[in-house]
Amino acid sequence: MSADGNNSRRGRSSGKSTGRSAGKSSGRSSGNSPRKSSGKSSGGRSGRNPSNRSRSGGSAQRSSGRAPQQRQSRPQPTRGTSGQASGIQPGNISGNISGNISGNQADTQASQQITQRKVQLSRQTQNLTLSAWDLARTRKQQPDSVRGQVMTLRAHQRLVSSFESEREIPENDRSFLQVKEGANASVLLIHGVSTSPGSLRELAIRLHEADLNVYVLRLPDYGTPDHTISEVTWEAALQQGRQCFRLLARGGGAVHVVGMGFGATLALHLALAESVSSLVLLSPAIMPRESIWQRMLVRLKLHRLGFVHNMLGWNADLMEGMDIARSKLGKIKVPIYAAQCEDDDRASPASLRILQRKSHNKASRFRVFADGGHAILANHGDKGLYGDIIKFCGGRVS
CATH number of the CATH domain containing 273: 3.40.50.1820
- pLDDT bucket at 264, cuts 50 / 70 / 90: very high
Do residues 386 and 325 share a domain?
A: yes
Q: What percent of the chain has pLDDT over 90?
A: 36
Do residues 12 and 128 share a domain?
A: no
Do the domain assignments include residue 397?
no
Do residues 360 and 388 share a domain?
A: yes
Do residues 366 and 247 share a domain?
A: yes
pLDDT of 145: 78
Number of domains in the chain: 3
**273, 274, 278, 280 alpha-carbon torsion, rounded to 10°:** -60
Residue of higher predicted confidence among 143 and 133:
143
Q: pLDDT (tens digit, 9 = 90+) per residue, 57-98?
A: 444 444 444 444 445 544 554 444 444 444 445 555 555 656
Do residues 226 and 274 share a domain?
A: yes
Do the domain assignments include residue 200?
yes
Note the pTM of the prediction, 2 decimals.
Answer: 0.65
Do residues 216 and 343 share a domain?
A: yes
Quickly count: other Cβ atoms within 10 Å of residue 149's Cβ. Answer: 24
How does strand 255-260 pair with strand 212-217? unpaired
Do the domain assignments include residue 187?
yes
Do the domain assignments include residue 198?
yes
Do residues 206 and 320 share a domain?
A: yes
Do the domain assignments include residue 86?
no
Do the domain assignments include residue 272?
yes
> What does the DSSP assignment read for 240-305?
HHHHHHHHHHTT-S-EEEEEETHHHHHHHHHHHHS--SEEEEES---S-SS-HHHHHHHHTTGGGS
Do residues 277 and 219 share a domain?
A: yes
292-299 and 315-327 are packed helices; what angle lies between their axes, rounded to 10 degrees? 70
The type of residue at 350 is A
The type of residue at 97 is I
Phi, psi of 336 (to 5 degrees): -130, 130
Do the domain assignments include residue 82?
no
Which of 333, 352, 319 has the alpha carbon at shortest distance from 271? 333
Do residues 187 and 328 share a domain?
A: yes
Lowest mean pLDDT among 21-30, 83-92, 327-336: 21-30
Which pairs with CB-CB distance under 8 Å and at least 24 residues apart come from 320-323? 320/234, 321/234, 321/235, 321/238, 321/262, 321/265, 321/266, 321/269, 322/262, 322/265, 322/285, 322/286, 322/287, 322/288, 323/295, 323/298, 323/299
Do the domain assignments include residue 39?
no
pLDDT of 16: 43
Do residues 147 and 255 share a domain?
A: no
Do residues 256 and 237 share a domain?
A: yes
- pLDDT bucket at 141, cuts 50 / 70 / 90: low
Residue 161 structural domain? 118-168
